[in-house]
């Protein structure tokens, strides 16, 4: 499937480099327009004859942040891949909102991977993903919703509804209250790193749990947790000592 793309990048060298890399490594992507500022980007994306499938966006432009541009384009019905220098905060915001990003200098393999995750316009739900991203940027410690790039498109879940994550090869099943399940093409290590600050804990190589949903810990040789949904989750011997320390810390709160 041929994808049309625009690039908004204020450094000429960066624009030329990304255009050439897309031509070389992603032949299904056709660059149909480019801009170098918030103002020219708005003008480009408001053209009636231009309906891109994806926009590659540098976050920091000469006349402002690219988010100022996105606020002026309604609706944002194309997919987005941010192209940025290393920025841990921006990367976290993209991860929580299931928005793609590529770090400069661009790695060809990571570019190909990001392009492979581009969603068709009708399935992109970019406005909702941008809402989650903005929520995290404004309130990183209290944001309430996450986006998941599932096998059937982008799905959203409230943080408080996530009971646990379960690994299966390179996929992760997200188990929610009410029995709903989302399957995501990411490893469980990804979610362990992402959600540890929010009271999630990895108790086993296959399981990351929301500690708010623990009902009982059964001690013994084969120690395991009983969750609020009555699922029994094994606590691995290697992780048990650290987990017990985490339980003691919770009891002291």
Domain boundaries, the chain: 3-137, 160-252
Residue among 86, 115, 122, 81 nearest 103 (CA): 86
pLDDT tens across 56-70, in order?
A: 999 889 898 888 898
pLDDT tens across 40-60, in order?
A: 999 999 998 999 999 999 988
What's residue 231's pLDDT?
A: 92
**Rounded to 5, what percent of the chain is helix, strand, coil?**
40, 30, 30
What's residue 132's pLDDT?
A: 86
- Fold classification of 3-137 is Rossmann fold (3.40.50)
- What number of residues does the chain have? 253
Q: Is the pLDDT reported for residue 225 higher than 90?
A: yes
Sign (positive or negative) of CA dihedral 57, 62, 66, 71: negative
The arithmetic mean of pLDDT across residues 77-92, rounded, is 85
160-252 belongs to CATH 2.40.50.1020: yes
Q: Is the pLDDT reported for residue 253 higher than 70?
A: no
Q: Read off φ and ψ for residue 78, nearest 5 degrees.
A: -120, 160
How confident is the prediction for the chain on average, in pLDDT? 88
What's residue 23's pLDDT?
A: 95
pTM reported for the whole predicted model = 0.72
What's residue 232's pLDDT?
A: 94
């Amino acid at each position: 499937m041929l994808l049309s793309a625009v690039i908004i990048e204020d450094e000429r060298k960066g624009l030329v480099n990304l255009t050439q890399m897309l031509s070389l490594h992603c032949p299904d992507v056709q660059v149909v327009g480019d801009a170098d500022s918030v103002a020219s980007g708005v003008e480009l994306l408001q053209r009636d004859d231009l309906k891109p499938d994806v926009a590659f966006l540098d976050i920091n432009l000469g006349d402002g942040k690219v988010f100022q541009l996105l606020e002026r384009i309604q609706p944002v019905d194309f997919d987005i891949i941010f192209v940025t220098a290393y920025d841990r905060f921006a990367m976290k915001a993209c991860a929580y909102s299931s928005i793609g990003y590529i770090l400069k200098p661009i790695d060809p393999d990571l570019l190909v991977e990001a392009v492979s995750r581009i969603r068709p316009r009708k399935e992109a739900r970019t406005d909702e993903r941008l809402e989650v991203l903005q929520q995290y940027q404004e309130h990183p410690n209290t944001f309430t919703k996450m986006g998941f790039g599932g096998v059937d498109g982008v799905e959203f879940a409230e943080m408080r509804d996530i009971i646990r994550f379960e690994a299966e090869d390179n996929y992760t099943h997200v188990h929610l209250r009410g029995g709903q399940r989302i399957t995501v093409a990411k490893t469980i290590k990804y979610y362990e790193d992402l959600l540890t600050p929010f009271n999630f804990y990895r108790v086993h190589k296959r399981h990351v749990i929301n500690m708010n949903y623990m009902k009982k810990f059964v001690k013994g040789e084969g120690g395991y947790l009983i969750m609020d949904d009555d699922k029994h989750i094994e606590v691995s011997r290697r992780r048990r000592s650290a987990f017990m320390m985490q339980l003691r810390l919770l009891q002291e709160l």
